Amino acid sequence: MELEEHSEDEESKGEDEGQNQNAPKKAKFGRKRKAALPDGVLKPVKLSRAELYKPPMNEELNQLKETENLFHSSLLRMQIEELLKEVTLKEKRRKSIDAFLHELNTLLSRVPETQETELTQQSWLPKRVKVPFLQVPYKVKGRFRFLPPTSVKVVGSYLLGTCIKPEVNVDLMMTMPQEILQAKDNLNQRYLRKRALYLAHIAHHLAQSELLGSVKFTYMNSNHMKPVVLLCPQGKDEKLVTVRLYACAPPGFFKPGRFHPSKNNVRTAWFLEQDSTLKGAIEPPTPHYNNSILCDLVMEQHLHFLSSAIKDSPGMKDGIAILKVWLRQRQLDKGFGCFSGFLASMVVAYLHSKHKVNAMMSGYQILRNALQFLATTDLTVNGITLAKVSDVSLPSLADFHQAFDVVFIDPSGFVNLCADMTTSKYKEIQFEAKYSMEILGDTTLDGFQQLLLVSKPLIRTFDHVFHLKNVSKLQGACKKMKLLNELMDHGGNYVGAVLPFLLSLLTQGLGQRILMLTHSLPVMPEWSLGDDPPKHKDIGLLSFGLLLSPEGSLSILDKGPEADSSEAVEFQKFWGEKSELRRFQDGSICEAVVWTAGTLFEKRLIPEHVVKHLLQLHADIPEYSMCYSGALLDTLIRVGKSPAGTGEEQMLSTVNSYDDLSRKLWNLEGLPLTVTSVQGIHPALRYTDVFPPVPVKPDYSFHEKVKSKKCLLPLVKKPCPAYVAPLKVICHMEGSGQWPQDKEAIKRVKAAFHVRLAELLKEKHQLVCRPTAAHVDVFKDGYVFRLQVAYHREPLFMKEFITPEGMMKYQDTEESLQLEMEILHLPYLSSTLHGLQQQHPAFSSTSRLAKRWISAQLLSDSISDECMDLLVAYLFLHPAPFTPPSSPQVGFLRFLQLMATFDWKNNPLIVNLNGDIKDIEYAEIKNDFMAARSRLPVMFIATPKDRKDSVWTRDRPSALILQRVVMLSIESVNILEKQLMDPLGNHDVKMVFRPPLDFYDVLIHLHPRQIPRHREAVDKPAKSFLRGMLKSSAVVKSFFFPVVDYDPVQCYLQELRVAFGELALFCYDAHGGEVIGVLWKPLAFEPQPFKTTNVKGRMMKFRANKALMVPNVEAILEDFEILGEGLVLSVEAHTEKWSI
């Protein structure tokens, strides 16, 4: 395994791999064909008849058989092969790396010797080189001198052929000469400090070589006791490879028995810098310290073990490479206590030793077996070992379980490969593996895409995330929790010492509120030779993630044991002053903790209160040292002043009032036909209205009374009254022969029904009603419900038309499609989403946040409300590779990510409401979509009742708007995730809700006085206008119907679009926006021939003796002001396109 031997093996291996040099050419040809398509839509390759029916060759038959046996499908095989091509090293790069390693080996043999000195006498080191070790305490016995390494060997994934890009690392193990070590170097960090000095001397001399571009230090897996040297080549080869230089003790120098998990190798008196140990004091075991030294003694043994397991199996090498990609996408493979690529290789080797995998398996099968093993094996309870169990001289698994959270023993029987891993981190790995197996088993999902191509950062994976801003506070936590023994064991690393105890504390306190608690892996930075080594606080952030339980997380009660039980004292001690005695309905008197929360918004904050209380109580970590980001975005959908929540209670009140009205309509007597169904279709009735309607009581002094009609009108001199939304309700009447067969006659019958409904509701329930031909408005509990009678056959009559030949035919019209949407599609969607909200309480707020963001970008008129609801529903029904969101914040982040990454050109978004689309029907929907792609909307959403047309996106968004949404989503998700993961930075999350106005050609500024929803703005105004509404407690003698559905800005926008829709797009934030953005349409500025149809908004110009019509922009801008008189403050032009 020497460096020279290895390169020959690699070269011969490279020749074998290089035989199939023509393989990539086909891929290149395929890419070229695809790129040639103008619109980026994938299309099937056309084959000649001869090619299509050519009999398969033997090689193709063998490949098909192999695919059937070893892979899920042909597509999966191709995907994995492409992935492996991307991540594995090319032969040319290997040869360059080998050449670099040979030159490096020569350099290492020429490092000069030094004189022997005391270990603490380090003046022989140049001043520009600092020892890469935290020497606390500084005094330590022992002597040191430098002698060249007795051997330099390549170990690790590079030699095994399992190294993956983009970060190519090669591990070089230098064996230190026996002469520089002493018998008792296992004690008090002596060996570890000699190792650090050895590396410092070598690094100093390598830094002077022209071969190397950079020489730095880092910690191995961020373990501060194990520094390594990082070497990168010079110049253009800088990114070729990073060599990690390890220094190890010679084999057999230390007896492994000295490092038994129960033995002590760090003396308390030395660590505390005391003169002598107290008599009779028992030294605590130092298992982590022991393990860190043992790792150096078995590196070569591990290499031989892995090599013998995987050397003859390309499938196992592929499996390990894919498993590493899986770990990297979940951010599990780097940092202190990580599940490294080496550990992944050992898991596969373990499965091989137990005959659960074999050399004939494909990489995909190896991945599945490894994930299945991780999902079903709890190493925190039942550890595993690669050593021979019969050897009684080895420590038992029970010994390891007593010392470590997670147990996986190496072939030597002494080293725990998972020594630094916490229980929480392993539980996360187990959870991820189990969920990954479910994804692979779901035929409706692209398992490859979800598992290996989608990144899962902490902030987008967990519902709540909090950070410890000041990690040094954990020193105080160690003191408070009396963790001196653990601190000694970790060499003073208070983060590593206290972390398992904090996690255990929070897991116990959060209990049923969470499904999982995890933490970020502390990552130490690299540093230059002349810098001091990073201290423990230099890990930067320590972040924690909570995966909330949808049911338990909102509970306001933590019930404890009965008052007279022995556990009651423990409960009181755990919760401190929060614990109190309470009597329950069953008569029992128990200890309990009750959290004050009146609204759903406050209930979502309970986990935050639990965390802050427990960390303050048990670890002396003050609230200001924490940054909790669980509900920072909720402020954007908060209604009213400070005590109010995020509107869920108001919507529940609205739904209750609607339910009562629905029962009254069902039981209404005196109608010619009975009511067969009552279905609310307003967003508030499915819990997705951005700002839910509030009960209104108009102030008559603010309005003009129309006494003859008992209704109110806005007064010109007063500000625009508050916006009262009509809550639309579809009232289906039974089918009967009494219904006419003519569409105009049906409209008249419906008008009569509206009049009769108003009469009966007033007569029997004393409800104030206002009937019209199209609907009847009902004022109930402060809300205005707009009832619309429907007859199920009416759309059919609207489609009728007579051909010139006298034949009757049916054809969709705008009117029939609109009616179908209102009386068929919308009621189904509303009832289904109402049900979804009952399953997933976070759905409502997530949808509202998404709509608020779209509206804030001035695009609310460009994407329908229903389309937004379906996009958010997709996140809850098809969350893979995540779990369904349990907080609005993480739901919104995933919405942005969906909009930023979904391939709308080549895929339909299938939202399987109620699970009504069967697995086998997915392929049918996709095939229909691809066959008709050119005539379908740019954004295609399929639902169980709408598989081929995408009715919710038929007219909008346009390709331009969709492109804009994608760009804004990419920017927003990047900015927002950075903000939420940076507790010391800017926490103004509203930044992504403020639109970039420089994008627009013209800005129309509006007067806030005439904006009825002014208080709904992203940046809520400090002062606004009174909107003519009384308090709910005010007494009103006589009743006048309020002004309904009146928003002057929407009326103005409608007029603008009618007048100038051919020339420009008008964009507005319906929730309190003060600006209308105008975008000129590029085609509008192309000169048109002189015709009367082209006169609108244009003026005549002569060019080349030809009369042409061009937009008269100055006149149009003037018209904007004239049309909006009293509403428009000013018109600001950003461009001068009218000069074209």
696-716 pLDDT per residue, tens: 888 888 888 888 888 888 888
Q: What is the mean pLDDT of residues 776-789?
A: 94
Higher pLDDT, residue 47 or 490:
490
Higher pLDDT, residue 398 or 4:
398
The first and second tokens of residue 564, run together, are 């007279």
Pairing relationship of beta strands 557-562 and 527-528 according to DSSP bridges: unpaired
pTM reported for the whole predicted model: 0.90
Residues 6+ apart with CB under 8 A from 800: 743, 808, 809, 810
Q: What pLDDT is recorded for position 18?
A: 41
The closest alpha carbon to 419, from 506, 338, 503, belongs to 338
Note the Cα 671 to chain centre separation in Å: 53
Q: What is the mean pLDDT of residues 222-251?
A: 91
Q: Across the chain, what does the average pLDDT equal? A: 88
Q: What pLDDT is recorded for position 640?
A: 67
Pairing relationship of beta strands 1098-1103 and 1106-1111 according to DSSP bridges: antiparallel
Distance, CA of 397 to CA of 135 (rounded, Å): 33
Q: Kindly tell me if the per-residue pLDDT of 612 is higher than 50.
A: yes
The closest alpha carbon to 791, from 834, 832, 730, belongs to 730
Higher pLDDT, residue 534 or 644:
534
pLDDT tier at 755 (50, 70, 90 boundaries)? very high
Cα separation of the two ends of the chain: 74
User: Mind listing the pLDDT tens digit for each residue in 596-608?
Assistant: 998 889 999 999 9
Q: What is the mean pLDDT of residues 619-631?
A: 91
> Which residues are registered as beta bridge partners of 1109?
1088, 1100
Q: What is the mean pLDDT of residues 538-567?
A: 90
Higher pLDDT, residue 229 or 1039:
229
Q: What pLDDT is recorded for position 1078?
A: 93
Residues 6+ apart with CB under 8 A from 319: 348, 357, 361, 362, 363, 364, 365, 366, 367, 369, 370
Q: What pLDDT is recorded for position 20?
A: 42
Distance, CA of 486 to CA of 268 (rounded, Å): 11
Q: What pLDDT is recorded for position 47?
A: 66
Q: Kindly tell me if the per-residue pLDDT of 658 is higher than 80.
A: yes
Q: Measuring CA to CA, how many Å separate 669 from each of 658, 672, 707, 757, 762? A: 19, 9, 30, 10, 13
User: Mind listing the pLDDT tens digit for each residue in 1056-1095?
Assistant: 999 998 889 999 999 999 999 999 888 877 777 777 666 6
The closest alpha carbon to 858, from 952, 693, 694, 998, belongs to 998
Tell me which of 495-509, 1025-1039, 1100-1114 is least confident: 1025-1039
Instruction: Give the per-residue SS3 of 181-247.
Output: CCCCCCCCCHHHHHHHHHHHHHHHHHCCCCCEEEEEEEEHHHCCCCEEEEEEECHHHCCCCEEEEEE
Question: What is the percent of the chain where pLDDT is above 90?
Answer: 65
What single-letter DSSP state applies at residue 934? G
Instruction: Give the per-residue SS3 of 406-451.
Output: CCEECCCCCCECCCCCCHHHHHHHHHHHHHHHHHHHCCCCCHHHHH
Q: What is the mean pLDDT of residues 527-535?
A: 93
Q: What is the mean pLDDT of residues 237-254?
A: 91
pLDDT tier at 280 (50, 70, 90 boundaries)? low
Q: What pLDDT is recorded for position 1025?
A: 79
CA diameter of the chain = 115
Q: What is the mean pLDDT of residues 111-124?
A: 92
pLDDT tier at 10 (50, 70, 90 boundaries)? very low
Helix and strand element counts for the chain (H, E):
36, 35
Instruction: Report yes or no: 651 and 624 within 8 Å, Cβ to Cβ.
Output: no
Q: Kindly tell me if the per-residue pLDDT of 12 is higher than 80.
A: no
Pairing relationship of beta strands 227-233 and 212-219 according to DSSP bridges: antiparallel
CA dihedral 977, 978, 984, 985 (to 10 degrees): -110
Q: Kindly tell me if the per-residue pLDDT of 751 is higher than 80.
A: yes
pLDDT tier at 297 (50, 70, 90 boundaries)? very high
| Torsion over CA: 313, 315, 317, 320 (sign) | negative
Distance, CA of 1083 to CA of 1121 (rounded, Å): 24
pLDDT tier at 37 (50, 70, 90 boundaries)? very low
Q: Kindly tell me if the per-residue pLDDT of 789 is higher than 80.
A: yes
Distance, CA of 545 to CA of 1094 (rounded, Å): 61
Distance, CA of 991 to CA of 976 (rounded, Å): 8
Distance, CA of 593 to CA of 587 (rounded, Å): 17
Tell me which of 23-27, 50-54, 814-818, 1093-1097 is least confident: 23-27
How do the residues of the chain divide into helix, strand and coil, expressed in percent and rounded to 5?
45, 15, 40
User: Mind listing the pLDDT tens digit for each residue in 886-900?
Assistant: 999 999 999 999 999
User: Mind listing the pLDDT tens digit for each residue in 387-437?
Assistant: 987 778 899 999 999 999 999 999 999 999 999 999 999 999 999 999 999
Residue with tokens 């997709």: 874
Q: What is the mean pLDDT of residues 727-732?
A: 95
Q: What is the mean pLDDT of residues 43-60?
A: 69
The Cβ of residue 158 has, within 10 Å, a number of other Cβ atoms equal to: 23
Q: Kindly tell me if the per-residue pLDDT of 459 is higher than 60.
A: yes
Question: What is the percent of the chain where pLDDT is above 70?
Answer: 92
Instruction: Report yes or no: 1045 and 1007 within 8 Å, Cβ to Cβ.
Output: no
Distance, CA of 1063 to CA of 1081 (rounded, Å): 6
User: Mind listing the pLDDT tens digit for each residue in 815-854?
Assistant: 888 889 999 999 999 999 999 999 999 999 999 999 999 9
What single-letter DSSP state applies at residue 564? T
Residue with tokens 């100093």: 204
Q: What pLDDT is recorded for position 468?
A: 92
Distance, CA of 539 to CA of 432 (rounded, Å): 25
User: Mind listing the pLDDT tens digit for each residue in 927-954?
Assistant: 999 999 999 999 999 999 999 989 999 9
Q: What is the mean pLDDT of residues 624-643?
A: 83
Tell me which of 52-56, 426-430, 496-500, 714-718 is least confident: 52-56
Q: What pLDDT is recorded for position 52?
A: 67
Distance, CA of 387 to CA of 399 (rounded, Å): 15
Distance, CA of 233 to CA of 238 (rounded, Å): 5
Higher pLDDT, residue 156 or 71:
156
